Amino acid sequence: MDFKDEIVQFVSDKIGGIVIIASGSDEIVYADSYFTDKYGTNIVGMDASDLFLWLDDCPSLNVGENVVEWENIDTDAKKYYKFQSAMFEKEDRNYVIHMISDITEYMGLNRDITQYMAFFQKLSAFQTAVLEKLSDTYYELLPLLTDNFKTSKAYYFIQRDDKVDIITYTKMGNIYSNDRIEMNEEVANVFSMDASDEILIDSFAGEVKEVMLLNGSGRDSKFRKLCDGSVSDQKYAVYLNVWPSMNLDLMKEKMLLGVIKLYVENGIIKDKLIYNSEHDGLTGLYNKAKFLAMKETEYTRLDSIGIFNLDVNNLKKLNDQFGHEAGDKLLIKAANSIRKVTNNKVHGYRMGGDEFLLIACNVTKDELDSIRMRWEKELARLNSVDDGIHCEIAVGVVFWEIGYDFDALMKEADARMYEDKKAKKKPGEEIR
């Protein structure tokens, strides 16, 4: 007796379905009732790659090898499938046979299996992405956090002696803002706040709150602390803006938080080794030595470059009249305006004395104009504070694309800065 039809019917009805695909062309040459019920009776002859998303996850198959078992999740349908696949030859042509079994109901897990597996895949992908960027800067981490936790802003706080640097990343517009505030007892609370619940913006120190408001948070904004810690005597904390679509389950995964802490602490340790040699002690911007190193390795071979040559006016006058402490405050204010627009593509330098540089790497002309506008806006804001220190900066800006002469661009930026300095000079005032 021939039971072939009964066997095929049993497999289709009780276990799953069978489909056969021509290797090379992806043409469906056979589909049982499981597939015809789902995709229609004219499925034979269709292109399998257009119908079956799971084909992308199928392991490599070869004629004559054993059947390969593998699994796939259909997150849209909330189904978990098991596959048994093999390649065979028939009439000088290779075919792949797949038997699919829906095992969603039989997993026996307390948590819905499709959500769990989909979550685990995302978790694994995020961990891989973070680990791949361990050698990069903090700037590379913040966009990963906003994408994976589905939020609008990420904040990174890092203590540097008696200062706290705050890097804010805003997903909309891909904007970074850098701010530096003085460390005090109230500011230090940012490193020790309870991470178990939402934190109101009014819970932060006034200086921290001011930075958050300036960088786009609202007066009713709420935050979640992702992680904090201390390494090499430096405290750090990472906060996320609470957002309607925020993935709170992901924030509870200790394994993931461990990877994020590894990233941050690896960066702090690496940064600690070279920070003093690359940064200006007064302002915290990169120093001239760092600029010369970047000129040799990066700045002469970019697709495009923007150069801001900046010179602070009246430093000598302020030093002579009020002393070097006032002069230092002037330089710090200038540096803070520059720091605001720095990120992994825009580097700020104090070259010495009252001379500063901004180098923007691989940006468009429109992006360069935006950087200048944000810098000018921040300088105006800093000058609105009644502290007796008015900061005026002469600036020369140049932009060029592939084929530029870096030294020639630096000279042009310097010439434009000098012209701006003359234009800003008051009658009888010496140009310095």
Residue 136 and residue 388: Cα distance in Å, rounded? Answer: 40
Residue 290 and residue 35: Cα distance in Å, rounded? Answer: 63
Residue 139 and residue 131: Cα distance in Å, rounded? Answer: 14
Residues 238-294 have pLDDT tens digits of 999 999 888 888 788 787 788 788 888 888 887 777 888 899 999 999 999 999 999
Most confident of 136-140, 247-251, 329-333: 329-333
Residue showing tokens 């039971």: 3
Give the pLDDT confidence score for residue 417 in this predicted structure.
96
Residue 175 and residue 169: Cα distance in Å, rounded? Answer: 6
Domains of the chain by range and CATH? 4-106 (3.30.450.20), 114-275 (3.30.450), 288-424 (3.30.70.270)
Helix, strand, coil percent values for the chain (each to nearest 5) = 40, 30, 30
Give the pLDDT confidence score for residue 110 in this predicted structure.
38
**88 phi, psi to nearest 5 deg:** -140, 165
Residues 334-383 have pLDDT tens digits of 999 999 999 889 999 999 999 999 999 999 999 999 999 999 999 999 99
Residue of 19 and 247 predicted with greater confidence: 19
Residue of 296 and 109 predicted with greater confidence: 296
CB atoms under 10 Å from CB of 89, counted, come to 11
Q: 308, 397 in Cβ contact below 8 A? A: yes
Residue 314, CA distances (Å) to 99, 177, 376 in order: 80, 27, 18
* Nearest alpha carbon to residue 327 among 306, 344, 313, 310: 313
Which neighbouring-strand residues pair with 367? none
What is the four-CA torsion angle of 261, 266, 269, 275, rounded to 10 degrees?
-110
* Paired sense of beta strands 16-22 and 93-102, if any: antiparallel
| Angle formed by the axes of helices 324-339 and 365-383, nearest 10° | 140
Residue 13 and residue 11: Cα distance in Å, rounded? Answer: 6
Residue of 272 and 118 predicted with greater confidence: 272
Indicate the SS3 state at residue 108. coil
Indicate the SS3 state at residue 364. coil
